[in-house]
Copies of this chain bind each other. A is one copy, B any other.
Amino acid sequence: MFPNKKVQELVGSKIRIEMKGKKYVLEGILKSADDYLNLHVANTVELLDGEKSRALGSVIIRGNNIVLINPVN
């Protein structure tokens, strides 16, 4: 299964996203994703050293600035 399909599988579930730049680790519910890995994420929170630091709500994330995505169990 190609990486973009793997991301599609995660729609509806909680994901963790590491962005370029040290400060951005985000968690939220994946609402949609396209082939560029642009993401729409709901209930998004920013984590700092593993602690919730900001509630961002509904955000759109630009795929090229994503380092990695993983499911949160």
Contact = CB atoms under 8 A, between A and B. Distances in A.
Number of copies: 6
A52 interface: no
B71 A34 contact: no
Nearest to A72: B57
Choose among A7, A44, A60 the residue with the greatest number of B CB atoms under 10 Å from its CB. Answer: A60
Contacts of A4: 34, 38
A68 B59 contact: yes
Interface in A30-73: 31-34, 37-40, 44, 56-71
Contacts of A3: 32-34, 38-40, 60-61
Interface of A: 1-4, 6-7, 19-24, 26, 31-34, 37-40, 44, 56-71
